[in-house]
Structure 1
């Protein structure tokens, strides 16, 4: 009887195990089907538990496969249609496996949770399946460098979250699809940042409907296709655009004049088309670095004088563009100019480079013109090419400038770091650290660099540092990187050979290679701004630390497996018990992850389980790992609360982790209240909460990572970002909209209570985001209109009415925002050397004079351009800092007024921001103002303050 009960018990446990493991087994079955059709799978792809056994390239959450990253490991075969059964899959990256061939299965459209589909540098062919348009969460779609054919599926237009679309270097044909009311199209992708379609066989006109003012595009790369017809004028409406490549097509007609409105474009390629009409006027493109309009049929024209106004210009290429007349000497005085190529034109007279030419000027190529003389008094010592001009052809000149000596490459190679290289084995290479190893190699191709001087070693040094910082940040096993052989190829891409050297061993394993490949293929690595968009093309790696991977089963293996099976049956009862315990533990862990507050202890005055919207709980170990054990190298900020660390989550997402120091931690109830409040905030101009950690006696908040730091850093010059008047207006409207959301749309409404330039962050597009809700309060009773609370905030920004009465209202934020507005135009701290910014502006202001007579206190860096709307901006700021809250506008009214000011300045209020940046003693009138003549303070204490400590 007892034996029967044991058998029944074991049977029940076995059934439970099967039920719990059913989904995991389904994922295993899919991976096994892939293993069966692929060669060279990783050696450890054995057993029936890919999650528990840590299969290389497989990442899991709650025992479900969520990511497959297998870059550069030599896979060969096809992509199985069974992939659709991985219902939790979020990332699929099989890049740099050239042996992966065949079509992309339509069943891939069933992966509804997929966010990243990256197949760079494989051998896939056939049409791109329209089912890709059924992936609602897709953010990155990169199919670069394959052999895909046929048209771009219009269904891609359904991917509303997509921001990176790279289909370059395939054999795609047909027209660019746009919507027509019944079918979707690419024009629907208003959140798209990147259209990379270069090096295909796309044809037809570029549809005017493809572009609109509400698009967020920063890169339009259409080079080397068969596009015909004219450049659509709607392209000039995409104010966010930074890089435009239309070169090597069949485009005709004049260049639209409104292209001049693209004030953020830094690289412009229109060469090798059949464009006609007059030369386009580019004076509005005031950040333009690189211009190539060569080989078109423009009307005959002298070199426009406005060329000399493009101060950031590094490269001007106008080969075969009907230019004629004398070359103005002012052209060569541009401070950053590196290359001028004006060959095959009708330029004549004497060439005078002048003595004030740029120190960076490396190449002047005027081959095949009509230049009869050259004034050598300017002392230009670098490459000058005048071959094919009368000065060389008819006078018999033998000067070096009569020889063709241009080169598109340089011999740069990363130098070794104060060490002596030792002899290495065959195929090994000595790293910059003089360690012999087998590096992972490939070519970095930059599609639109802003410079043309390939001999400047400092730019490669910055790229090397950026690469190593990225690899360290992601904790990759890379000891050093080496760059070499910079070359401009036929596509006008800058190509660099990259060697990545392993750390601790002389070779990488498959995990290390896949991790490095993922960082490069997933665009996780962000190169320095002047390098622009890139693609990495990896070489196959044949030196893995472990032995070769999976091969097809043999009869011997089957026999051995059958023999071993009998022994396994004898141990089944014991294993069932162990397995059940293990599954129970996994279930508990999964439950904790699904229910982040399973361990929340109400007995510790922390209240009920928090109710969150979108935020998740992180374990201490997760955040420790993503911040490299809270390394000092990852610290990006600090304050009274604690330190802020840059981190990289398992998914590759960058985050900022705010870790409270022991003495500043809140009580459990206060911490719960804060994360509940933050989890409700979702707006493009408010920093979003990703999650938190509340364990190991730790309190940590995890925010989205904002790369360009605070507005205060940019205004002070610390960030290196140049904020012109246009950018400051866009920052003002962004921050105002964020505050308007908190006051009027958040549920319940929120008073921030600490608005200042330190708490306004700038993302990669310089979009303003309101941050740091540590002092925030929910809006009080609408009947009362205020919250009575102790005074907290930052001196210099604090509402004097709140300071005197302890009654906090949304108008307190309006006051702080008014101070921020004044800080935007003066770049001065609110209290600086005894001067309070509000009093300063009022003291200098004279409404009868230009710019209200404020030139002396305005930031000099904005005085270089017309300050349209500045007077109204000052009027609005001063209305925000009225002493009485009732006299201040609401944030909704502030937003409307800034929008009007932007229109006066000729700006679209709905366009994104730009990219890649005598002592006065106030006379006292008896008013007890809270701001003294001391420096900037933070006040967070009881009222009235007995002592205020400097920040």
Structure 2
């Protein structure tokens, strides 16, 4: 009987293998990818040179062609930035009817006209062709792309006029046609033909560095518009500045410099209360010097080289406390310069050259510590009063009487042109760079690698001190945070050589270094380039609008030049492989038929997912897991760069947490126990089995574990935006508005309800606190850290008698007194978290307990329950819809008697009701409830979800994020 079973098993396996072989042969001739999409990609392959080497075979979706993203069998994205493509964009691309993203940026070999048929891509949301060499007119059919939100055609050679049909793009958010050769007037609607005045939802008009002519139409701007950036610099525009610009109250950056505009500066500009950067330089503006007192938050003001009427220095400028850069060169100013100007707290640069200013220059005894440069060349300054401590300020008084009349002797420093160039380069990260081969570069982490390089260009930075390392450190951190949150395989970034170009743009050289190896693959480069070309990366607010010009990356490790392989070669290889496989299958079938039991057992042992499990420990056998895998110590060592300090992202009594990156680019959080906190093998196994059964979007997922070489490590999904605790304290830089807090609360509540009511077996977390609620890249809450968790067996449905563990301030007093643990103990802890969300305070601060403080202050007969003194100041000015019910819920959760507390399921329902009252969708995942983009005030953000930046719920395949 046993031998018959063995032969039967062997026969079955042989048959299965043969069937698999024939299925593989069939797949060679029968592709899974839609036939029409395959034909288009083959057409592109025929007209493009240097396509990726793996563009062979008949199944781009199934074979994961580089740069091709699919949904099922349909092509939805083509992202091939910086890969050296050359050729033209074939009109056949219009047949990709499901295409949503087309990004071919930074391929200087791409040239020719855009096909008229591109307007047939009706599902296209992102058309990004930055830094190529496309030419000819922009086809009018582009106005048919009704779903487009990002249209970036900048830095090409497009000619002709701006298509009026762009005015039809009601969903358009980002419009960048800068740095081309576009000419003619700015199109506006006339009742028959559309125009740009219809783009009331568009935030960005970037048209600089073209050859546009005529006046700026008065009708172009209106009060319904939500524009943030209007950039018409470097054109040939004439006529007056339209006063209707003052109706666009949302405007933050306005550049009209380097044109031929005339007339006066409109008084309506005083209505632009959000304006931070204004440049009207190098025009022919005239009339009285403007009074812009209403633009109280302005940081950069450049009115240089205009023909204003002669006037004394404007007194209102000395009250602009946000001002960092003042450029008034050649504006007919006269008289003395007020000392108070140099005491503005943020002032860095003052350029008053080529005017008629006179008297004594005195920057005052209390000049700003930020002050770097005062350029007063070619004026009539007769004296300079030097102040103690002013040596760090570069004073330039060339071609003034004070320098012309200097007696013989050493030339004063203020009569010598200063060297204002910046030599800044990102310093090494606590390491010493070694000698790299000539074709590699040392990263800030001192690893030699082939970096991806390019140029970051900032069109309107709000600072002028290019020697301030702190500013560039903030930019570097922002880049790394963005790359990590988007799970990109980046180890480090390096910034160098910041300088201003002739257009007053800030140029910075960027190098991006690969993680885990010394080169990027094509997917990695395309994803990094997409994050920059698609504006997924949001720099700190002080840097303003930017674009990126990537270099071609030539260091892909592909063992060849990357030239195309012919279809015949592919068939020959396929036939050869097929023949070889067939012979092997015959041999394998014979082997299986001979001694199947022994071979099956050996194969099972070799393929067992717990081959590294330390059997010497008293572990009770291998863990029975659902969806988690066993990692070797050597694998994790490689993924964390030998557990380097640079990858340490947290620590506690248990040990440290390290960031790791799989070869696929997936980010991991690796919790490595220190020796003294390790569990026994049986306890560790129990915890792994428990966590592997937990699968919910609001609970941090266990990816795997490691249990070898004396190590105990748990590998979780990486959650990039830190803890709720850090967000509420301001440590993480995340702006926690009331609506965001509600969204975080519902997410955490759902995660905890899942553990109590749907997990098998049910789980009591036992350490719910704000530090154990993590926020992902969209600020969706995830319950984390199950080190103290307890599963509930059928015999323990009422309670578990166990040693009291948890965190003071969150600990259920009933559990503390009785040592009887129930789900209601978690409910109590969650109630404390809810009060923390309202107050922004830790549970115990200066000996005061948050639960007691709320109860003492609360008066339900008064507005906001009389809690104004304890509500977090960060939200006290908001409309706190649902606050009363939220506080009622929190207090019901922290009831002294567990029996009186609601279940977590009831908590979820109540928060859902509060969300509905606040006008929010309780079933929307994203915290962004205001549309595809979310914008807020500018400043100096340290985080992409700070008030001063905006969230882009964009998409990069395969991790596409849909807007709410």
Instruction: Give the TM-score normalised by the residue count of structure 2.
Output: 0.63
Q: How far off its partner does 1:81 sit?
A: 1.0
2:548 corresponds in structure 1 to 536
**Map of 1:121 onto structure 2:** 131
Pairing of 1:782-793 with structure 2 (within 5 A): none
Residue in structure 1 matched with residue 538 of structure 2 by the alignment: 526
Question: Deviations 1:172-215 (Å, cap 9, x if unpaired)?
Answer: 22333344444433344344332222111223314444343552
Trace 1:551-950 onto structure 2 (pairs within 5 A).
561=568, 716-719=729-732, 731=737, 913-915=936-938
Pairing 1:411–2:434 present:
no
1:516 corresponds to which residue? 528
Question: 1:71–1:513: 8 Å Cα contact kept in structure 2?
Answer: yes
**Shift of the alpha carbon at 1:713?**
5.5
Instruction: Report the Cα distance in structure 2 between the residues aligned to 1:149 and 1:31, rounded to whole angstroms.
Output: 28
Q: Give the corresponding residue for 1:549.
A: 562
8 Å contact kept, 1:157–1:188 = yes
Tell me the equivalent position of 1:280: 291
CA distance in 2, matches of 1:359, 1:517: 38
| Deviation at residue 303 of structure 1 after TM alignment | 3.0
From 221, 224, 240, the counterpart of 1:210: 221
In 1, are the aligned partners of 2:396 and 2:416 still within 8 Å (CA)? yes
Q: Aligned partners of 2:445 and 2:701: how far apart in 1?
A: 39
> Structure 2 stretches of 5 or more lacking a match?
1-18, 585-626, 672-683, 706-714, 747-768, 785-806, 811-829, 860-865, 893-912, 920-932, 942-964
Q: How does 1:317-466 map to 2 (within 5 A)?
A: 317-381=327-391, 382-394=393-405, 399-401=411-413, 403-407=415-419, 409-416=421-428, 418-422=431-435, 424-425=437-438, 427-434=439-446, 436-466=448-478
The 1:99–1:486 alpha-carbon spacing in structure 2 relative to 1, beyond 3 Å, is same
CA distance in 2, matches of 1:448, 1:316: 13
How big is each residue's C-alpha offset from its partner over 1:673-722, in whole Å with a ceiling of 9 and x where there is no partner?
Answer: x98xx9xxxxxxxxxx9x999999xxx9999x997x8998677443458x
Residues 291 and 316 of structure 2 are in contact (CA less than 8 Å); yes or no, is this contact kept in structure 1?
no
With over 3 angstroms needed to count, the CA separation of the structure-2 counterparts of 1:732 and 1:528, relative to structure 1, is closer
TM-score normalized with structure 1 length? 0.64
Q: Does 1:52 pair with 2:65?
A: no
Distance 1:178 1:655 in 2: 48
Q: Distance in 2 between matches of 1:506 and 1:278?
A: 57
Equivalent positions of 1:134-213 (< 5 A) are 134-203=144-213, 204-213=215-224
Describe the shift of the 1:300–1:649 C-alpha distance in structure 2 as closer, same or farther (beyond 3 A).
farther
Counterpart CA distance in 1 for 2:577 and 2:836 is 75
Query: Is residue 403–residue 415 contact of structure 2 (8 Å, CA) maintained in 1?
Result: no
In the alignment, the residues of structure 1 paired with residue 494 and residue 141 of structure 2 have an alpha-carbon distance, to the nearest angstrom, of 41
Aligned to 1:605: none
Separation of aligned partners in 1, 2:63 and 2:780: 44
- Structure 1 distance, partners of 2:189, 2:664, is 33
Counterpart of 1:237 in structure 2 is: 248
SS in 1 for 2:374: strand
Partner of 2:862: none
Residue 589 of structure 2 aligns with which residue? Answer: none
TM-aligned CA distance change 1:180 to 1:542, over 3 Å: same
Q: Which deviates further from its counterpart, 123-132 or 494-503?
A: 494-503
Secondary structure of the 1:520 match is helix
What is the rounded CA distance, in whole Å, between the counterparts of 2:916 and 2:576 in structure 1? Answer: 78
Aligned to 1:226: 236
Q: State the distance in 1 between where 2:891 and 2:576 align.
A: 85
8 Å Cα contact 1:279-1:301 kept in structure 2: no
What is the alpha-carbon distance in structure 1 between the residues aligned to residue 472 and residue 71 of structure 2? Answer: 39
Partners in 1 of 2:780 and 2:402 — Cα distance? Answer: 62
State the Cα RMSD in Å: 6.5
- Give the corresponding residue for 1:94: 104
Aligned to 2:143: 133
Query: Contact 1:759/1:771 (CA < 8 Å) preserved in 2?
Result: no
**Is 1:42–2:52 an aligned residue pair?**
yes
Q: Which residue of 2 aligns with 1:487?
A: 499
1:804-824 Cα deviation digits (max 9, x unpaired): xxxxxxxxx9xx99998887x
CA distance in 1, matches of 2:651, 2:192: 53
- The separation in 2 between residues aligned to 1:876 and 1:69, in whole angstroms, is 45
Q: 2: CA distance between counterparts of 1:242 and 1:79?
A: 36
Cα gap change, 1:131/1:647 in structure 2, threshold over 3 Å: closer, same or farther? farther
* Distance apart, 1:111 and its partner CA: 2.3
Task: Give me the whole-angstrom Cα distance separating, in 1, the residues matched to 2:744 and 2:440.
Answer: 55
Q: Secondary structure at the match of 1:84?
A: helix
TM-superposed deviation, 1:524:
2.9
Q: Which runs of 5+ in 1 are unaligned?
A: 1-8, 579-617, 679-688, 722-726, 741-755, 775-793, 798-812, 847-852, 897-909, 918-951
1:292 maps to 2:302: yes
Shift in Å, 1:894: 9.5
Distance 2:64 2:236 in 1: 47
Conservation of the 8 A alpha-carbon contact between 1:236 and 1:259? no
In 1, the alpha carbon distance for the partners of 2:358 and 2:195 equals: 50
Counterpart of 1:498 in structure 2 is 510
Q: What SS class does the counterpart of residue 377 from structure 1 fall into? A: coil
- Between the aligned partners of 1:162 and 1:648, the Cα distance in structure 2 is 35
Who is 1:253 aligned against? 264
The alpha-carbon distance between structure 1 residues 574 and 183, as it changes in their structure 2 partners (threshold 3 A), is farther
User: Are 1:467 and 2:479 an aligned pair?
Assistant: yes
User: Alpha carbons of 1:13 and 1:856: their partners in 2 closer, same or farther (altered >3 Å)?
Assistant: closer
CA distance in structure 1 between the partners assigned to 2:890 and 2:59 by the alignment: 67
**Secondary structure of the structure 1 residue equivalent to 2:55:** coil
**Count of residues paired in the alignment:** 789
Deviation track 1:567-619 (CA, whole Å, cap 9, x = no partner) reads 9899999999x9xxxxxxxxxxxxxxxxxxxxxxxxxxxxxxxxxxxxxxx99
Matched ranges for 1:257-268 at <5 A: 257-263=268-274, 265-268=275-278
SS in 2 for 1:59: strand
The CA deviation at 1:362 is: 1.6
Shift of 1:147: 0.7
Preserved contact between residue 247 and residue 271 of structure 1 (Cα < 8 Å)? yes
Q: What is the CA-CA distance between 1:166 and the residue it aligns to?
A: 1.6
Query: Is this contact kept in 1: 2:459–2:544, CA < 8 A?
Result: yes
Rounded Cα–Cα distance in structure 2 between residues aligned with 1:869 and 1:412 = 41
Q: CA deviation at 1:100?
A: 0.6
Cα distance, 1:892–1:543 mapped onto 2, change above 3 Å: closer
Contact 2:159 2:180 in 1 (8 A): yes
Q: 1:238 to 1:881 in 2, by over 3 A?
A: farther
**Inter-CA distance 21–53: structure 2 relative to 1 (3 Å threshold):** closer
Q: 1:620 to 1:913 in 2, by over 3 A?
A: farther
> Structure 2 CA distance, aligned partners of 1:565 and 1:671?
46
